């Protein structure tokens, strides 16, 4: 989600594979969110990436990619599937659905929710045994939501599992002012990553520059019913972001500040 300057170094330092299934989501066309994209593409090419790469972004990004790639003689070893972002579903993978909605910034901008597909319900071995399903490969198929055939009878997953369980939801605001639309969009996210450029006392600057404060981010997380909040995109005016975290925690206790290399465990919701 977004590619600031030096993103390829971060990807390599974290050991993220350069030839894995990848979808890049760009919120808007400001330099701190896109200038690292070209370097990342070049690094992937140098690593001989062969899998297609999906890029979802405002339509104008494609022109920037085409012009800079031509001027800098960038030769890619893989295909880019570019999708202009609009509100609604913008990407689907085997495991996830990605949705977008408009943000409120100084240029065309979007926010994203990455939603994990629902998981099969809890597997009940006793039911499987009662239906004559032998333990092993057939149990595994049923646990993965696939029907099996035993003795000429078809056994469906619903006969040996409970109701489907919801997957995890991660929301990312990009740069934006808070809004009721975003609160609804981020409803019940397990993790929210929100613009927190300014502290509460600098709200006038946030309004002028179309950003959010740490207090506003915390309020959005609270109203959206989120489980955890990560504050990000801090103004360089703050050498220490601890005060922003403290004031956010006064509204939404499950808050941390983003930093390079931060890893956050996202647990499955109950149910």
54 and 31 housed in the same domain: yes
Boundary (domain end) residue, out of 159, 182, 213: 159
pTM: 0.87
Cα 262 from chain centroid (whole Å): 15
What average pLDDT values come out for the chain (271 residues) when binned by 10 residues?
92 89 96 94 93 96 92 91 97 94 97 92 90 91 89 91 90 98 97 97 97 98 98 96 97 96 87 52
145 and 229 housed in the same domain: no
222 and 90 housed in the same domain: yes
Distances (CA, A) of 27 to 73, 174, 198: 26, 6, 19
What pLDDT, on a 0 to 100 scale, did the predictor assign at position 21? 92
What pLDDT, on a 0 to 100 scale, did the predictor assign at position 271? 52
The answer to whether 98 and 54 have CB atoms below 8 angstroms apart is: no
Boundary (domain end) residue, out of 138, 159, 180: 159
Full residue range of the structural domain in which residue 151 is found: 125-159
109 and 222 housed in the same domain: yes
What pLDDT, on a 0 to 100 scale, did the predictor assign at position 200? 95
Boundary (domain end) residue, out of 34, 62, 85: 85
- In angstroms, rounded to a whole number, what is the distance separating the alpha carbons of residues 176 and 209? 9
Residues noted as catalytic: 32
- In angstroms, rounded to a whole number, what is the distance separating the alpha carbons of residues 117 and 97? 7
115 and 189 housed in the same domain: yes
30 and 93 housed in the same domain: no
Helix (H) or strand (E) holding 96: strand 96-102
Phi, psi of 210 (to 5 degrees): 60, 50
Give the count of domains, the chain. Answer: 3
């Amino acid at each position: 989600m977004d590619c600031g300057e030096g993103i390829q170094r971060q990807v390599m330092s974290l050991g993220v594979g350069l030839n894995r299934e990848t979808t890049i989501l760009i919120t808007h066309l400001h330099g701190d969110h896109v200038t690292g994209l070209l370097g990342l593409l070049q690094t992937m090419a140098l690593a001989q990436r062969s899998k297609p790469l999906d890029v979802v972004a405002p339509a104008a990004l494609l022109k920037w990619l085409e012009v800079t790639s031509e001027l800098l003689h960038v030769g890619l070893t893989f295909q880019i599937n570019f999708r202009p972002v609009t509100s609604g579903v913008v990407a689907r993978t085997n495991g996830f659905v990605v949705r977008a909605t408009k943000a409120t910034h100084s240029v065309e901008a979007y926010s994203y929710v990455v939603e994990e597909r629902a998981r099969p319900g809890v597997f009940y071995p006793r039911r499987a045994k009662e239906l004559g399903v032998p333990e092993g490969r057939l149990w595994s198929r049923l646990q993965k939501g696939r029907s099996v055939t035993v003795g000429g009878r078809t056994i469906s997953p619903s006969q040996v599992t409970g109701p489907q369980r919801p997957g995890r939801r991660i929301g990312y605001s990009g740069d934006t002012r808070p809004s009721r639309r975003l609160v609804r969009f981020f409803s019940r996210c397990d993790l929210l990553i929100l613009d927190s450029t300014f502290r509460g006392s600098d709200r006038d600057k946030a309004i002028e520059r179309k950003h959010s404060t740490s207090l506003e981010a915390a309020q959005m997380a609270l109203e959206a019913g989120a489980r955890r909040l990560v504050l990000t995109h801090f103004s360089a005016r703050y050498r220490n972001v601890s005060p922003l975290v403290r004031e956010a925690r006064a509204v939404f206790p499950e808050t941390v500040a983003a930093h390079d290399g931060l890893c956050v465990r996202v647990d499955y919701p109950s149910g």
